[in-house]
Amino acid sequence: MPTNQNKKLRSLTRSALSLFLLAQILALLELLIVPATYALFRFRESQNFLSEMGLLIRTLNSTSAWLNFYSFSISAIIIFILINIPGTFLIPKNQTSLNYIAISLILLFSFSVFFFQALSSPVSSIRKILFEIILASAFILWLATLWLLRKNAQHAFLIIISASIFILVNLARAILILYKIQLGTLGIFLICISAIILIILSIWLGLKIEQTRSSLFSTLKFLFAISIIAFGIWVLILPALPWAKWYFHKTQDPKPPNVIMIVMDTARADHLSLYGYHRKTTPFLEHLAQYSLVFEKAFSTSPWTLPSHASFFTGLLPSEHNCTYENLHLDSHFTTLAEMLKQRGYLTIGWSNNPLLNSASGLTQGFDKFVENNQLPIYSAEIIRRAYLNRFPQLVSDNGAKLTNRTLFRWLNRLSANRKPFFIFLNYMEPHTPYTRDPLAYTFFKKPENARKNYVSPNWDMYNCENQQNKNLKNNAEKWYDGSILYLDNELRKVFEFLKQKGLIHNTIIIILSDHGENFGEHNWWGHGVNLYNSDLYVPLLIFYPKILSPTKISNNFSLKNLPELLLNLLQNKNEKELFEQITKPEPIFAEVMTPVMYLDRMSQVCPQTDFSRLNRAKKALLLDNYKLIWDSRNYWELYNLIQDPLELNNLITQNPELFKNLQNQLNDFLSKHPYSPTAGKINSRTLNALKSLGYLK
C-alpha cells in the first residue's frame, strides 16, 4: 500500500478515535453534571447530599442514560462518515480543518438539543440571571475556541475546551429544568464558582498541553484515556456482579415458589374479554384463567399509580401510607412486599416502564435490583425522543413491552439455574397513552389506514377542556385502548411460554393485575386520577399457581391492599380451604383520592376558561356487596347499585334513604379514623418530572 494511503488510514483512525472519545466524554459529562446539579439543589431540602447524589447517579442504570451513550456515539459515527472519510480523499492536505469541523458538529448536536429545550421552556426561566451568566460564559468560551481554530490549536486542546463548553451548557440546562429555584442559595453560589473554576482550569490545562511536550502531560493524557476505558469496562461488568452474589447464595431446600407480579398499568377490567367485554382483547388471559384463581370484583384503593402501587406493596390504604397527591413519597418506615419477601430469602428484582415508580418515590425499597424508566428531561437523547414522540405520537411502537420482555428473558436465563427463589415485579405501560403502533393494535379497526387516520392524542387535556362527548372520538379512543391491551396480552403470552420453556412454570406464582382504570368521557372526564367510579377502580386480578390453587372464580369484592397478606399466606403453604376463607370473607372495601391539586394547577394553565371546581375536593368510597357510596370533602354523597347500574348514573340517595343511612354510618366511621388532611408536601425533582412525562403536570 502506498505511503500516502497509510498516512490517510492513520489519520482516519486518529480522527475516528478522537471523535468517539469526545462523544463518550460529552455523554458521560451530561449524565453526571446535570444530576449533580439536581442533587445540589435538593441538598437544601434534605440536608443529605450523598443520599441525593446516590439516588440520581443510579440514573446511569436507566434506559434514558444508555440511550444517551448511544445517541452521542451514533452522532460521532455519522459525522465521521459524512465529513472525515470523504474529506480525507477530497481535501488530503487539510486534515486539521476536517477534525475541527467534525468536533464542531458534535457540539452542534448538543447545542441543538439545548436550544430546543430553551425554546420550549417558560420565558420566565430564560430570564433568570444565573442562566444568562452561564450561557454568556459558554458563548465567550465558544468565541475563544473559534479564535484558537484560526491559530491552529492542537486537537487535544480543542477537545478539552469543547468539553468545558459542554459542561457550561449543561449547567444552563439544569437551571432551565429547575427554573423555580430561588436565587441566592448555596447551590447557586457553588454553581457559579464551579463554572468559573472550570473555565480557568480548562484554558490553563489546554494551554499547557498546547505549549509543552513534557512527559508529565503525556502521562496525564494517557491516564485520562485509560480512565475512560476503565469506566466503560466497569459499566459493562457492573450489572453482572450481583448475579454472581445471588447465584452462590444458599437457600432452603426444597426451593420455595418463585413469584412474578405483572401490572398492566391503566387497564380497566371491563375492557378485558376475560371479564366479558365484547371485543376479544385478552385471549391469552382467558386461556390462563382456566388454570387460575380469577377475582371477578377486584378494586384498586385509588385511581392513579402511586397510591395504588403503595397499597398493594404495603397492604395499607392511601390515608395510611400517605403516598398521595399531598406527599408523593412512600416513607421508608413502611414495609413493602419486596422487603417482606427479601426477609424470607428471596432475590427481589423490579422493572418499571412507569417513571413514577422510582427510588425518589420510595416504591423501589426492598428490591435488590430495580430498573427505572426515569424519562427525565435532562439527557439529550431523552429530550430528542420525547420531542419526536410528542410531535409524531402515531410513531410510537410500544410502551416498553418488547424491551421489558427481552430483559426479563435474560434474567430468567440466569435465574433458572439460581439457588434462590426470586420475586420479579414488572410494570407494563401499553394500556397507558400514548398507545402502541404495533399492527396488532389495529385489530379493532376495519382497515389499518383507518387506525392511522384516527390516532387519538396522548394528551387528554384537550378533551377535558372542551368536555367532549363525541361518539366517534370515544369509539376511536377505545379501539386504540383495546388494541393496546390485545398487544400486551400477546406479550404476556410470550412470558408464559418462556417460563414453560425454562421449566419454571410449575414452581412460580404468577399474579396479573392492574393499578387503576381509565375514563373515556364517563362522568365528563378523560383519563384517570380524580374519581372513584368503577371506570377508575375496577381492575383485573388473577393468580396462577395450580400446585395449590384450583381454577376458581371469586365473586366477592376484593381490595388490592389485601394482596400482600394473601401472597404471604400462599407462601406459608396454607391449605386451599383456609385461603378461600380469607378471600371470600365479606368485608367493606374502601378507596380514596385526595384533592388532585396537580390536575387543578395543570388545567388552570391549559384551559383557564373552563370551570374545574368539581375536581377541587377529596373523595372516599365504600363498597359493600353490590353497592357503592361515595363521599367528597364538599359533603356531597353518591349511592349506586353496581349490578343494576354499572355505569353509576343513577344516584340512589333519595330513592333508598334507609340503605344510604346504613352505609353513611359505616363511611363516617371510616372517615373518623382516616380523616381528610389537605396539607401538601414537597415534590422532589425526579417525581415532578415523572409526573410531567405522564401528563399529570405541565
Q: What is the pLDDT of residues 15-33, one digit of tens each?
A: 777 777 777 777 776 666 6
Q: Is the pLDDT of residue 226 over 90?
A: no
- Please check whether residues 516 and 562 belong to one and the same domain: yes
Task: Give per-residue pLDDT as tens, 460-490.
Answer: 666 777 665 677 788 888 999 999 999 999 9
Q: Is the pLDDT of residue 583 over 70?
A: yes
Q: What's the start-to-end Cα distance of the chain, in Å? A: 61
**623 occurs within a structural domain:** no
The CATH number of the domain where 433 resides is what?
3.40.720.10
Task: Give per-residue pLDDT as tens, 396-436.
Answer: 445 578 878 888 898 898 888 777 899 999 999 999 988 88
**647 occurs within a structural domain:** no
- Look up residue 16 and give its three cell numbers: 475516528
- Please check whether residues 286 and 148 belong to one and the same domain: no
Task: Give per-residue pLDDT as tens, 161-170.
Answer: 555 555 555 5
pLDDT-derived band at 504 (thresholds 50, 70, 90) equals: very high
Residues with Cβ within 8 Å of residue 596, at least 6 apart in sequence: 325, 529, 530, 615
CA distance 23 to 78: 12
CA distance 427 to 694: 14
**Helices and strands counted in the chain (H then E):** 26, 15
**628 occurs within a structural domain:** no
**What pLDDT was estimated at residue 396?**
44
- Please check whether residues 195 and 266 belong to one and the same domain: no
Which of 534, 560, 586 lies at the terminal end of a domain, its last residue? 586
Mean pLDDT of the 131-160 span: 55
Task: Give per-residue pLDDT as tens, 27-67.
Answer: 776 666 655 655 555 544 444 545 555 555 555 555 556 66
**56 occurs within a structural domain:** yes
**550 occurs within a structural domain:** yes
Task: Give per-residue pLDDT as tens, 70-118.
Answer: 667 776 776 677 666 666 666 555 555 556 556 655 655 555 555 444 4
Which of 180, 210, 238 lies at the terminal end of a domain, its last residue? 238
- Look up residue 272 and give its three cell numbers: 378485558
**695 occurs within a structural domain:** no
- Whether omega before 588 lies within 30 degrees of 0, making that bond cis, reads no
- Please check whether residues 327 and 417 belong to one and the same domain: yes
Q: Is the pLDDT of residue 178 over 70?
A: no
- Please check whether residues 436 and 526 belong to one and the same domain: yes
- Please check whether residues 9 and 91 belong to one and the same domain: yes
**373 occurs within a structural domain:** yes
Which of 563, 586, 609 lies at the terminal end of a domain, its last residue? 586
CA distance 660 to 594: 23
Mean pLDDT of the 601-611 span: 73
Mean pLDDT of the 275-301 span: 97
- In degrees, to the nearest 5, what angle opens at C-alpha 359 toward C-alphas 358 and 365? 110
Look-up: residue for cell 359533603? 635
- Please check whether residues 33 and 74 belong to one and the same domain: yes
**425 occurs within a structural domain:** yes
CA distance 547 to 685: 45
Q: Which domain holds residue 188?
A: 3-238
pLDDT-derived band at 608 (thresholds 50, 70, 90) equals: confident
- Please check whether residues 229 and 270 belong to one and the same domain: no
Mean pLDDT of the 150-156 span: 54
Mean pLDDT of the 588-596 span: 92
pLDDT-derived band at 394 (thresholds 50, 70, 90) equals: very low
pLDDT-derived band at 573 (thresholds 50, 70, 90) equals: confident
- Please check whether residues 111 and 231 belong to one and the same domain: yes
- Please check whether residues 230 and 151 belong to one and the same domain: yes
- pTM for the full predicted model: 0.70
Number of structural domains found in the chain: 2
- Please check whether residues 268 and 232 belong to one and the same domain: no
- Look up residue 425 and give its three cell numbers: 415485579
- Please check whether residues 329 and 180 belong to one and the same domain: no
